[in-house]
Amino acid sequence: MGQYARDEAALDYHEVDYYYDSHATTEDLMGETSYHSELAAYLKHVLRWMYRGQVYAIYDNLNHYQTLDTMEYPIAPDVAVIKGEVQRTRRSWTVGKTGSAPHVVFEIASNETWRNDLLKKPQKYYSMGVEEYYLYDPETPQHLKYKGRRLVGWKRNRDKKMMEEMQPDEQGRLWSEQLQSFLIPDDEYLRLYDADGQRRLTEAEAREQHERELEQKTWSLEHRTRLLEQKARQSEEKARLLAEKLRSLGIDPEEI
């Protein structure tokens, strides 16, 4: 067995000790706006609730590598979705060793990163094996305003060996085959909707919606009960007035 084969076999049992897992990258040294952190957190919550009960992994800013070179410079997507992989706490992700390439990645544009996200990341993610890549600009004024939209998406084109830019529909939506969802810009948020037009919710939003629906059902039931009680009282009053009228005419209502 050659030295590389022995090293590779040993790595089957241990994570690669990558240099940049313990040293800052250029991206690590950049400040993060609240636009960035809030949108990344929101997308994670939506995706985790959407994939509840399924095998998946969702990571934010986790270093992704493609080789066993310990000095490889990583790509760290703002949000990465890897279907069919178990969610675990990890130092990093090596495509082909830790598991498959992400199926979907999201990057959130910032003043420091948007050019690299727009011009270089698509091909980098193609090389990694990513199926879909979405870049969203939550800020106003927008960094991507010359594109005429906040959201840009790419999907893997194996024939052309590139990430092919997706075209939005007349409503400005992009359809994600991997997520089975429409992606729709909403100012600082990027929303996901199912094919029927229902917005995909976070767990907290879903529970709040369920509580509102229960409250509405309870109110409706109480309202119907009050109406029935009111109708019963009205019927009783009508019967009483009719009985009094009959008695005034010398007729005993009990004998009718």
The predicted-structure confidence for 202-228, as pLDDT tens digits, reads as follows 999 999 987 878 778 777 777 788 888
What is the Cα 163 distance to its own chain's centre?
Answer: 22
Torsion sign over Cα 218, 223, 226, 227:
negative
pTM for the model: 0.80
> Which of 100, 48, 102 is closest to 75 using CA atoms?
102
38: its two tokens:
């809030």
Cβ(53)–Cβ(202) below 8 Å: no
- pLDDT, residue 3, reads 42
| Listed range (5-9, 31-35, 56-60, 197-201) with the worst mean pLDDT | 5-9
Residue with the bigger pLDDT between 47 and 5: it is 47
164: its two tokens:
């092919």
- pLDDT, residue 141, reads 85
Say how far apart CA 162 and CA 154 lie, in whole Å: 9
